[in-house]
């Protein structure tokens, strides 16, 4: 397994640009770069420039991964650049992006089913709880769009990998993959997100591992709030996810991309609210109980001083050096787990 970085969230990514990111990644000893969409590599899908980036990556022994964007028709308006690439045709925009990625040797393509809206970190931060359209209607529209995209993906030999994003459960993702076809649809595994849907990270990893072809890796702690639990993102090894168990579930050919954060990344998980509970008919009780156990464990570790508490972890000064240290700790922890598994 190779361990790389998220190009979108790497410190000073915009200043470095795609070429600078690849060189910085190699200089820091990381194994690859995951560009969230191919438009972040080239807004015009310039084939010469994409080939140039591919050559830099190959020369430095780096993996190169990318993606497309939103595939929920109720969110596609939030991706105007894709429609522009398709001259008003969203599916054509996706096709042109996939063709460009394929030409540059990238066939596993990230996508997700909604944005995180950040409205007071409450229910309506998550599009699962939109009041203008139900989540089941959004899922059905997404399923239909993916079926429309499937012939194009088969023609190109590409696969869309839906992220385990904050709004969707792993059960729903697996159902979509199996309905559309695992040859053209897979999963990008981000276990820090599955807890927002009340899921146990290790159980979630087992559910999605057979279909996982890309990853976003980070850790977390949890603590109780009046309406449930709150999640705080941390570097791999600084939290309570059993990453050793998770790595055992993954195909060893899958790259491990570290998704860093430059601020106190948190999410409310409103476990105690009836409206939240009704929105999760497929959530196993075992997952909820494990999430509660992880919350109790997080609070105990923070209380005993074995890990920093929620305020201390993101205490100023933050900045690029702090973010690079976050990535370095994550990479070192994952490397140690991989080495231990083969010793």
Give the mean pLDDT of the chain: 96
- Residues 32-48: pLDDT tens digits? 999 999 999 999 999 99
Please, are residues 246 and 191 in contact by the beta-carbon 8 Å criterion? yes
Which parts of the chain fold into alpha helices (H)?
13-27, 47-59, 80-85, 90-103, 135-156, 170-180, 191-194, 201-208, 243-249, 274-278, 285-303, 310-313, 320-342
Q: Would you list the DSSP string of 227-264?
A: TEEEEEEE-TTSSS--HHHHHHHS-TTS-EEE---SS-
Rounded to an integer, the average pLDDT of 175-204 is 97
Q: What is the pLDDT of residue 317?
A: 86
Q: What is the pLDDT of residue 120?
A: 66
Domain ranges of the chain: 3-342
Distance of CA 226 to the CA centre of its chain: 28
**Percent of the chain whose pLDDT exceeds 90:** 92
**Residue, of 147 and 267, whose pLDDT is higher:** 147
Predicted TM-score (pTM) of the model is 0.96
CA angle 172, 92, 21 (to 5 degrees): 75
Q: What is the pLDDT of residue 154?
A: 98
Distance CA 204, CA 169 (A): 9
- Residues 70-110: pLDDT tens digits? 999 999 999 999 999 999 999 999 999 999 999 999 999 99
Closest CA to 6 of 158, 168, 176, 188: 188
Confidence of residue 333 (pLDDT cuts 50, 70, 90): very high
The correct answer on CATH 3.20.20.150 for the domain covering 3-342 is yes
Beta partners for 138? none
Q: What is the pLDDT of residue 262?
A: 67
Cα separations in angstroms, 158 against 63, 68, 153, 256: 17, 11, 5, 20
Q: What is the pLDDT of residue 1?
A: 94
């Amino acid at each position: 397994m190779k361990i790389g970085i998220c190009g979108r969230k790497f410190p000073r990514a915009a200043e470095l640009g795609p070429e600078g990111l690849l060189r910085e990644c190699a200089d820091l000893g990381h194994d690859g770069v995951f560009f969230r969409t191919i438009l972040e590599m080239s807004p015009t899908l310039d084939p010469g420039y994409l080939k140039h980036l591919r050559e830099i990556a190959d020369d430095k022994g780096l993996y190169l991964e990318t993606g497309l964007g939103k595939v929920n028709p109720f969110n596609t308006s939030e991706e105007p650049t894709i429609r522009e690439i398709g001259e008003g045709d969203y599916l054509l925009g996706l096709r042109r992006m996939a063709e460009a990625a394929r030409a540059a040797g990238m066939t596993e393509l990230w996508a997700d089913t909604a944005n995180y809206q950040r409205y007071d970190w409450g229910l309506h931060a998550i599009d699962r709880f939109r009041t203008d359209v139900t989540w089941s209607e959004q899922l059905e529209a997404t399923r239909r769009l993916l079926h429309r995209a499937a012939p194009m993906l088969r023609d190109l030999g590409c696969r869309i990998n839906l992220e385990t994003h904050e709004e969707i459960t792993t059960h729903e993702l697996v159902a979509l993959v199996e309905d559309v076809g695992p040859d053209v649809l897979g999963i990008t595994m981000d276990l820090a997100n599955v807890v927002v849907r009340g899921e146990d990270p290790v159980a979630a990893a087992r559910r999605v591992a057979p279909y996982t072809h890309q990853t976003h890796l980070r850790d977390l702690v949890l603590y109780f709030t009046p309406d449930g639990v709150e999640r705080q993102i941390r570097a791999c090894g600084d939290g309570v996810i059993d990453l050793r168990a998770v790595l055992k579930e993954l195909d060893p050919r899958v790259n491990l991309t570290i998704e860093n954060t430059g601020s106190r990344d948190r999410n409310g998980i409103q476990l105690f609210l009836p409206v939240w509970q009704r929105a999760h008919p497929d959530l196993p009780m075992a997952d909820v109980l494990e999430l509660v156990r992880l919350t109790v464990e997080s609070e105990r570790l923070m209380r005993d001083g074995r890990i920093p508490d929620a305020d201390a972890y993101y205490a100023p000064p933050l900045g690029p050096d702090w973010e690079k240290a976050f990535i370095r700790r994550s990479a070192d922890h994952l490397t140690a787990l991989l080495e231990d598994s083969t010793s």
